[in-house]
Amino acid sequence: MNPFTTPITVSHYLAVGAVLFVTGVVCMATKRNALGVLMGIELVLNGANLNFVAFGSKFLRETTLGLDGELIALFVIVLAAAEAAVALAIALNFYNNHATIDVDHADELKG
């Protein structure tokens, strides 16, 4: 099967979304820098967004989510922006108070 001549399907998009999601999860799990963890979250949200758009696309399937897929993707983008702002504010606050950005040291609430 030649990848240059076979048409694109929803599964192609889902596979790319899965790779983005998994790299985001691995990023969240392994980074010690709080900002690295944030970047992992962005990747995860993007992988999910890709799936929504693929299911809403008219070029890939006969029956689609229609506009709902794209609208949900838009809301996800907006909420991701809000989440990044708050998380960044928390990270900066943490950095100001503890002089480190290492999440391994953010254990003051630990019992």
Partner 1 sequence: MILLAAIDWHSVLFLFFALVACGFAVAVAATANVVRMAFYLTLSLGATAGLFFLAGSEFVGAMQLMIYVGGTLVLLIFGVMLTAQAKFVSMQTSAGEWVLGGAVGAALLYTLLSAALSVDDWRTPRANRGEVALVEARTSTPIGLALSGVRVDKLNETSEQLRKGMSGYFLPFVIVSMHLLVVLIGAGYMARTKRAGSGLALQAAIPAAAPRDRKRSFFVAVGLVKGLVFNLLLAAACFWLLASPIPVEGDGVPTNAWLKSLGESLAAYPGWLLPTLGGLFIANALLIAVVWLWQRWGVVGLVIVPIVQALVLSNAGCTSTCAGIFLAVMLVPVAATILLLLSGRPSAWSQME
Which residues in the 34-73 window bind partner 1 by CB under 8 A? Answer: 35-36, 38-40, 42-43, 46, 49-50, 53-54, 56-62, 66-67, 69-71, 73
Task: Decide if residue 95 touches partner 1 (CB under 8 A).
Answer: yes
For residue 42, the minimal CB distance to partner 1 (Å) is 7
Q: Which two tokens stand for residue 94?
A: 């943490």
When computed from its CA atoms, the radius of gyration of the chain, rounded to whole angstroms, is 18
- End-to-end CA distance of the chain, in Å? 57
Which residue matches tokens 């006969």? 62
Is residue 84 a contact point for partner 1 (CB under 8 A)? yes
Among 3, 107, 110, 111, binds partner 1 (CB under 8 A): 3
Of 42, 38, 47, 40, the C-alpha closest to 19 is 47
Size of the site for partner 1 (CB under 8 A): 82
The number of beta carbons lying within 10 Å of the beta carbon of residue 24 is: 20
CB of 99 or CB of 109, closer to partner 1: 99
Q: Is 7 in the site for partner 1 (CB under 8 A)?
A: yes
The residue (of 87 and 111) whose beta carbon lies closer to partner 1 is: 87
- Which SS3 state, helix, strand or coil, does residue 4 take? coil
Three-state DSSP state, 90: helix
Q: Which of 13, 108, 109, 110 binds partner 1 (CB under 8 A)?
A: 13
